[in-house]
Amino acid sequence: MKVLVTGGGGFLGGALCRALKAAGHEVVSTQRRHSAALAELGVEQRLGDLADADHVRRACAGVEAVFHNAAKAGHWGSESSYVAANVTGTRHVLAACRAHGVTRLVYTSTPSVAHQGRVPCVGGNEANTPYATGFKAPYPRTKQQAEREVLAANGGPVAGGGVLSTVALRPRLIWGPGDTNLLPRLIERARAGRLRFIAGGRNRMDTTYVGNAVDAHLAAFAALAPGAACAGRAYFVSNGEPMPVREIVNGLLVAAGEAPVDASVPFGVAYAAGALCEGLWRALPLAGEPPMTRFVAEQLATEHWYDLSAARRDFGWTPQVSTDEGLRRLAAWWRAGRPNPPAT
For residue range 142-154, list pLDDT tens digits in order. Answer: 999 999 999 999 9
Q: Is residue 283 part of a domain?
A: no
Residue 282 domain flag: no
Could you give the number of structural domains in the chain? Answer: 1
- Section 220-241 average pLDDT: 98
**CA angle at residue 21 from 157 to 4, to 5 degrees?**
30
d(CA 48, CA 3): 17
In a domain, 82, yes or no: yes
| 25 found inside a domain | yes
Query: In this structure, is residue 189 part of a structural domain?
Result: no
Cα 31 to chain centroid distance, Å, stands at 16
* Phi-psi label, residue 229: left if phi above 0, alpha if psi -120 to 50, beta otherwise: alpha
- Report the pLDDT averaged over residues 47-63: 98
DSSP SS3 for 298: helix
Neighbours of 233 (CB within 10 A): 18
pLDDT surpasses 90 at 90: yes
Q: Give residue 341's pLDDT band: very low, low, confident or very high (50, 70, 90).
A: confident
Instruction: Give residue 285's pLDDT.
Output: 86
Q: Does the pLDDT value for residue 343 go beyond 70?
A: no
Specify if 188 maps to a domain. Answer: no
CATH assignment of the domain containing 99: 3.40.50.720
pLDDT tens-digit readout, 9-33: 999 999 999 999 999 999 999 999 9
Catalytic residue among 82, 107, 139, 271: 139
Does residue 293 sit in helix, strand or coil? coil
**What residues contact residue 254 under an 8 Å CB cut-off, 6+ apart?**
260, 327, 331
Task: Find the mean pLDDT for residues 230-241.
Answer: 98
Q: What is the mean pLDDT of the chain?
A: 96
pLDDT band at residue 342 under the 50/70/90 scheme: confident
Interatomic CA distance for residues 89 and 96, integer angstroms: 11
pLDDT digit string (tens) for 155-200? 999 999 999 999 999 999 999 999 988 999 999 999 999 999 999 9
Q: How does pLDDT run across 245-300, given as a tens digit for each residue?
A: 999 999 999 999 999 999 999 999 999 999 999 999 999 989 889 999 999 999 99
- The beta-strand segments (E) located in 179-301 are 197-198, 204-205, 208-209, 233-237, 243-244, 264-265
Q: The domain containing residue 152 runs over which residues?
A: 2-176+207-240+305-320
Strands 165-171 and 121-124, bridge-based pairing:
unpaired
82 is catalytic: no
Q: Is residue 337 part of a domain?
A: no
**129 in a structural domain:** yes
What separation, in Å, do the N-terminal and C-terminal C-alpha atoms of the chain show? Answer: 20
